[in-house]
Chain A
Amino acid sequence: MSRQFDLNDPSVVVVIGSGAGGGVLANELAQQGIDVVCLEAGKRLKMTDIVNDPAAMFGKVTWLDPREGSGDISRNFPTYLCKTVGGTTVHWTALSLRMAPHEITPLSTYGKIVGTSMIDWPISYQELDPYYSKAELKMGVSGTHGLPLHPANNNFLVMKAGAEKLGYKDITTTHSAINSISRDGRSKCLQLGFCKSGCIVGAKWSTLYTEIPKAEETEHFEIRPESMVLRIEHDQYGKINGVVYVDNSGVTYEQKARTVCVAGNSIETPRLLLNSESSLFPDGIGNGSGNVGRHYMKHVFARLLALMPGKVNMQRGIQQSGSLEHEAGHEPSRNFASGYHIETAPVHPEMLAKSLSNTDWGADYASLIEQYPYFAGALICGEDFSFANNRITLHNNRKDKYGLPIPVLNYKDSDNNRAMREHAIKTTTAMYEAVGAKKVFHVPMLTAAHNMGTCRMAETETDGVCDKWGRVFGVNNLFISDGSQFSSAMTANPTLTIVALAIRQAEYIQEQLGKGNL
């Protein structure tokens, strides 16, 4: 039985969310003897709840509470994120890339792109570097710390062969937080092919079966699943002193806290700050400058499915099994700033039928789906620059079951995104055609799997919500602890950076607690 803390214990650190940010932060603090209560909106799955069934797992782990998209984003399903202990680390594909050194200063590197709200990160790559290394060690990232790269699977081999025909070299199965050997008490990868449905054998790193149980062993940690935080509370001086949350039977509680760290992912984190408005914070906590919810970034995405002349069986093995990184740098001759990754991405039959077309039916379409074994698949992931009006807002009248306004994701695509996407689709299509693709389908993606920047780090309050440590400007004992902190989106998937920042933030919080500053 793990430790249970009293609601009125004001000495605990409350961490909201148990994913890559919250789960890691909470564990890092607990390992140092700091008492943590982690409040997670979702349920806690057992390993036996994880099955090789994408439809069933979608229902079990996805955040399905209403969200609305406005603009160039799905209206009814704008984000694909998780509501479960472990957060989106239960679903993610485990690609673990660092940002490149130049990406931490996008404004200085690319120059200001008209209309954007670009800033440089208020930390240097040198500061972040050791934490990337710690994150890679913690997560068991293949191709780092002496861990072997994963063997190539069919879908990756098609990408590699096509890329080599176009002249690219040194394409590898790259860095994944999936055990390439048995490690950390968890199995090595069995190439099950259902990474995104949760890893049945635990080879893929997820806080659900790593950080959370390790934190519990310290006896300085308690996780409360099915605990949705509704408000952050403060005293008359603006010092945070607790949070109000509701359990699955609708009973509300207040947990006292000495410090609160918000890691609900980039939609719920700003939403919580906005919903915590008070006379002292009439526009929401930490929103004196109006930046909470703004500068929302989601990456430039596209899916490609290629009908090949021979069998691929893309479902076999690691889903994100390698990536082409050669277009991820900044090459001005391409007429857009920054770059993109081409990542392998298979689909299962149901998703093939839903992806190749939204509307097609009949004999020709059914024949196409019957060629499932001949399909290869890839995903583009490119940098998305911030705009002040790409932002999370509270809905004017739609409320959730607790009576709180639901979040609206306001997002417009940009010229840079369009130019980048077009280039990426052309390159990926050429890659598949170079090895005989009969037809390449492009699937627009209007649902965001990567969400960043909505409570971003900045040098001053004018440009962001928190400082270089994730500490909210003007609110001494409130931290942003997830990807909402990102000052820019970079080209790579966000999780490794989220984990690195969480490890670093834990050290800082520990130091501040020791100095009596928290």
Chain B
Amino acid sequence: MIENTRRLFLQTIAGLAALPMLSQSRWLSAASVERTMKIQELSGHEIRTLQLLSYQLFPHDELSADVYYELATSLAERAKKNQAIFILFQSGIQSLDKLDSSPWVDLLHEQQLDQLQQIEDTEFLKYMRNATIEFLYRDPRVWKKLEYAGPSIGFGGYINHGFNDIDWLP
């Protein structure tokens, strides 16, 4: 399936080791190692952008904004450990912010959607789309909205929980 192609591509990115910046840490002082590590931290603006971006990609209005915030911070954690991801996010957000005189997060809703359409085919947006799907649709809070129970072994399977309760077929 095409999505598995993308999944493998993304797994490949995720598997890339942290590159030169960190490998030089053996002969840097502890303080400069700390500084080096901090360079891969996304800024508050960047995290806010990822939060709003993931919402615009898959807006489930009944969900709390917390869910999207957690999504963004989990991506920030990923970026800390993986230089390729960090660069993808930074450069993606920079490009997005450059499309207008104001940063993307400050634009009106319709303008935001418009600009996302413009970057639809970029690796950044494809990555964000996949990452958002995987975070949201593996989350029990989202499952509740979809009436999806997740693991069923806990209640002994659907054998006594409506596996054949369909009632509208002609």
Residues in A lying within 8 Å of B, measured CB to CB: 51-53, 55, 64, 74-77, 80, 151-154, 157-158, 161, 165, 189-194, 200-201, 303, 309-313, 315-317, 348-350, 352-355, 358-359, 361-363, 365-366, 369-370, 372-373, 435-436, 443-447
Contact = CB atoms under 8 A, between A and B. Distances in A.
A435 B170 contact: yes
A170 B2 CA distance: 35
A370 B145 contact: yes
A350 B158 contact: no
A191 B137 contact: no
A55 B159 contact: no
A352 B165 CA distance: 22
B133 interface: yes
The interface residues of chain A, by DSSP majority, are classed as loop
Given A74-B1, A313-B147, A192 B166 contact: no
Given A190-B157, A313-B162, A372 B148 contact: yes
B156 A190 contact: yes
B163 A349 contact: no
B170 A165 contact: yes
A315 B148 contact: yes
Contact of A350 (B129, B137, B169): B137
Contacts, number: 160
A444 B2 CA distance: 8
Interface of B: 1-9, 11, 56-60, 113, 116, 120, 129-130, 133-134, 136-138, 142-143, 145-153, 156-159, 161-170
Contacts of B161: 316
Contacts of B145: 370
B148 A361 contact: no
Given A52-B150, A446-B1, A316 B143 contact: no
B169 A77 contact: no
B146 A373 contact: yes
Contact of B5 (A64, A77, A151, A443): A77
A193 B155 CA distance: 12
A288 to B, nearest CB: 35
Contact of A349 (B1, B142, B167): B142
A154 B57 contact: no
Given A191-B157, A192-B153, A316-B158, A350 B56 contact: no
Contacts of B168: 309-311
Contacts of B147: 311, 313, 372-373
B157 A435 contact: no
Given A191-B158, A349-B148, A370-B60, A359 B3 contact: no
A77 B7 contact: yes
B163 A74 contact: no
A379 to B, nearest CB: 11
Given A51-B151, A366-B59, A311 B159 contact: no
A482 to B, nearest CB: 23
Nearest to B159: A191
A55 B151 CA distance: 12
27 contacts: A74-B5, A76-B4, A153-B164, A154-B166, A157-B164, A158-B166, A161-B170, A190-B153, A193-B152, A201-B153, A310-B166, A310-B168, A310-B169, A315-B148, A316-B152, A349-B142, A349-B146, A355-B1, A358-B3, A362-B57, A366-B58, A366-B59, A369-B58, A369-B146, A372-B147, A435-B170, A436-B170
